Amino acid sequence: MAAVPPGYDQQGGYPPQQPGYPPQQQGYPPQQQGYPPATQYPPQPQYAPQQQSNTNVVVVGGGPSVQQTTVIQQPKEKVNHVLHLLITIFLFPPWVFVWMILCCIYGC
């Protein structure tokens, strides 16, 4: 059997109340089961059906609207041949193939 910490009983209850705290509540108050009898509700007043109103709102514009179009032109990208030459000669000779592919893509 497992050891029980001091202050607990064998049934797994709570430890005794510490001094200086309010007393513990002993559970929830009893609840009624089911619905309360219908006599507890006051009778509901009967409302007459209301006529529905239909309101149409028409908004007339103040003339033709002016639409502005902005075109941003970016300069065509170019291959930096000096950089690719230096990479090919000093660092990685097969880089020449990457350089040729870029020349084909950007139309050198």
* Contacts for 41-47: CB closer than 8 Å, 24+ residues apart: none
pLDDT higher than 60, residue 41: yes
Alpha-carbon gap, residue 54 to 23, rounded angstroms: 63
* pLDDT value of residue 65: 66
Give domain status of residue 14, yes or no.
no
| Number of domains observed in the structure of the chain | 1
Using pLDDT thresholds of 50, 70 and 90, give the confidence band for residue 82: very high
Give domain status of residue 6, yes or no.
no
What pTM, to 2 d.p., does this model score?
Answer: 0.32
Domain range for 106 is: 78-108
